[in-house]
Amino acid sequence: MSTIPQRVASAFAVLCGQYGDLTKMAKDREQSRQSLYREAEQVVASVDGAAAQAEIDALKRQLDERQAEVNALQERLRVCESNAFFGASA
């Protein structure tokens, strides 16, 4: 697996390199050109931030759902405790 600097270099070669740069880089690293294209795609996706924002949004939704569950359980507990308290004195 490539390191982060290698992936960034791959992205640079794919996006900004001159003819033959990618082939030379692939030979130097003993990798296929396709693997360098994949690395570049991963870098672009990481830098884009859309995927990260989508994950953040999903995690926020999960947090909201869990908070609603906690609130509902706390309310049930409060009702049970108040019923037990009043039931014990009757």
> pLDDT tens digit string along 32-86?
999 999 999 888 888 888 878 888 999 999 999 999 999 999 999 999 988 887 7
Count of C-beta atoms within a 10 Å radius of residue 25: 19
Residue type, 50: A
Residue 2 φ then ψ, to 5° = -80, 150
53 and 28 within one domain:
no
Pairwise CA distance, residues 4 & 56, whole Å: 22
Pair 4, 47: CB distance under 8 Å: no
pTM to 2 decimal places: 0.52
38 and 57 within one domain:
no
74 and 58 within one domain:
yes
Confidence of residue 88 (pLDDT cuts 50, 70, 90): low
86 and 74 within one domain:
yes
- Domain span including residue 75: 49-90
* pLDDT score of 6 more than 80: yes
Q: What is the pLDDT of residue 90?
A: 47
54 and 21 within one domain:
no
Q: What is the pLDDT of residue 1?
A: 62
41 and 2 within one domain:
yes
Which pairs with CB-CB distance under 8 Å and at least 24 residues apart come from 29-33? 29/2
